[in-house]
Amino acid sequence: MKYDIIVIGSGPGGYIAAIRASQLGKKVAIIEKYSTLGGTCTNVGCIPSKALLDSSHHFYDASKHFDDHGIVISPPKINFKKMIDRKAGIVETTTGGIKYLMDKNNVDVFEGLGSFVDATHVKIAKNDGSSATIEGTNIIIATGSKPTTLPFITLDKERIITSTEALKLNEIPEHLVVIGGGVIGLELGSVYKRLGAEVTVVEYADKITPTMDADVSKELQKVLKKQGIKFAVSHGVTSVERNGNEVLVKATDKKDREIEFKGDYCLVAVGRKPYTEGLGLENAGVQLNKRNQVEVNDHLQTNISNIYAIGDVVQGAMLAHKAEEEGVVVAEYLAGQKPHIDYNLIPGVVYTWPEVAAVGKTEDELKTAGVDYKVGKFSMRALGRSRASGDLDGFVKILADKTTDEILGVHIVGARAADLIMEAAVAMEFRASAEDLARICHGHPTYSEAIKEAAKTAWDGKPLNA
């Protein structure tokens, strides 16, 4: 069987590349080693984690906030099995939807482990022991990533777990010790805190979400602390041991003292690594870089000219929407078009509550680059919309060029920040100034008014409602 394009891996990078290539007239095959399509994002990532975040948010609201609104209920209870089953149902519907899209777009789906025979042939090793080989003029590697761990940790996947297991526990932990105050640690830590667990986050850096704007990290830590999550920042974990149902995490603090954290579960959330195991890259001569990512040029082309790579397996943010954009770009490039991605404008979101979202540069990045900038910050608390809902925490912070007023970065902590950030991304795509945003009429009362006010503050230093 001969195809114009073979895609290996059906995550958001791979399946979107397959759809776009097919739309542009290519004959496409996609290979996925698991029985369901959708990759990490749909099966054990974005979708199931957001399902549990939403369920736990409802429970938390019912327990803590309904009373403020004059709604009196007997204390709500959790049917954890039902919550987990609901999540599984959402994953099933979504993976089924991707299969439907493959059929609709005439993409041939092969189940099995794909490995290079040479630069144009891929072997598919099926679960029943049989195999087939298909040929492709071009091949797109979209094999994604897997959780990484620390060298001294043995993941038993029962009590010392990764995000994959944390999404399908049989019980709510009594004390979940989370190693890593990054996105996964804070999102899944939030889920179990809201459901009643004690949660301690042990973070090596001196702040949580260390790559985000420092003000954002500070505000988020303050708010999550208020919700009851405990933090031990500047703590390097040195060992994790399990004794029966107990897990003991040892760490060293800034003063070199050994600190112990005892829990019944330990979530290891210290990042993810590119996944190329069993792919037979050596048979095609495809090179990796020093970080074990598939090395690609600006067109996402590997050192072998007909082989491309996208998503978590290459450099850059490990985000579903980044993988999707790269899938579209490679498909269009192979169809003779001249697509482009602005990597500076890929938004990042943390689905805690309040949510966190950012696009563009942080203050530290601007300082390092020697850019002269100004700051406009507006507190969510000052909005009528926030008072109406009771979501008072957070702010919008806009960084703009001191001379030209061009918006360089937008950082939001607040209710619905995940959706709000897109106004900033659109403005920045069109290279708007802070004044441009400040002069756009925003609906009232909305959370988006904080963006208008922060923009006005950055532009002329005179917010209207503060």
**Active site members:** 444
Write out the two tokens for 298: 């600006």
3 contact, one of ligand NAD, ligand FAD, none, CB 5-8 Å limit per kind: none
Q: How far is the CB of 53 from ligand FAD (least distance, A)?
A: 9
173 contact, one of ligand NAD, ligand FAD, none, CB 5-8 Å limit per kind: none
Would you say 147 or 376 has its CB closer to ligand FAD? 147
Would you say 267 or 454 has its CB closer to ligand NAD? 267
210 contact, one of ligand NAD, ligand FAD, none, CB 5-8 Å limit per kind: ligand NAD
Dihedral of alpha carbons 200, 201, 203, 207, sign: negative
Q: Do residues 22 and 30 touch, judged by C-beta distance below 8 A?
A: no
Exposure string of 102-136, with b = 16+ CB inside 10 Å and e = fewer, is beeeebbbbbbbbbbeebbbbbbbeeeeeeeebeb
Task: Work out whether strand 121-125 and strand 355-360 pair parallel, antiparallel, or are unpaired.
Answer: unpaired
Q: Do residues 101 and 19 touch, judged by C-beta distance below 8 A?
A: yes
Task: Work out whether strand 175-179 and strand 265-268 pair parallel, antiparallel, or are unpaired.
Answer: parallel
Q: How many CA atoms lie within 13 A of 277 on its CB side?
A: 5
Residues numbered 20-49 forming contacts with ligand FAD, rule: CB under 6 A: 31-34, 39-41, 45-46, 49
Provide the 10 A C-beta neighbour count for residue 369.
Answer: 10
Q: Which range binds ligand NAD by CB under 6 A, 29-37, 135-143, 181-189, 298-306?
A: 181-189
Residues numbered 120-159 forming contacts with ligand FAD, rule: CB under 6 A: 142-145
Q: Do residues 155 and 179 touch, judged by C-beta distance below 8 A?
A: no
- Total binding residues toward ligand FAD, as defined by CB under 6 A: 35
At 92 the three-state DSSP class reads helix
Place of tokens 């169809």: 335
Residue among 148, 147, 152 nearest 251 (CA): 152
56 binds ligand FAD (CB under 6 A): no
196 contact, one of ligand NAD, ligand FAD, none, CB 5-8 Å limit per kind: none
Q: How far is the CB of 150 from ligand NAD (least distance, A)?
A: 5
The correct pick among 19, 179, 330, 427 for binding ligand NAD (CB under 6 A) is 179
Would you say 45 or 180 has its CB closer to ligand FAD? 45
Would you say 40 or 457 has its CB closer to ligand FAD? 40
Residue among 139, 49, 116 nearest 351 (CA): 49
161 binds ligand FAD (CB under 6 A): no
Q: How far is the CB of 127 from ligand FAD (least distance, A)?
A: 12
Backbone φ and ψ for 80, nearest 5 degrees, come out as -65, -35
Q: Do residues 107 and 22 touch, judged by C-beta distance below 8 A?
A: yes
Please name the helix (run of DSSP H) or strand (run of DSSP E) that holds residue 370, with its range, or none.
none
What is the C-alpha separation between 262 and 240, in angstroms, rounded?
10
153 contact, one of ligand FAD, ligand NAD, none, CB 5-8 Å limit per kind: none
275 contact, one of ligand NAD, ligand FAD, none, CB 5-8 Å limit per kind: ligand FAD
Would you say 161 or 455 has its CB closer to ligand FAD? 161
Residues contributing to the site for ligand FAD (CB under 6 A): 8-14, 31-34, 39-41, 45-46, 49, 113-114, 142-145, 163, 184, 275, 278-279, 311-312, 318-321, 323
Residues contributing to the site for ligand NAD (CB under 6 A): 150, 179-185, 187, 202-205, 210, 236-237, 269-272, 317-319, 349-351
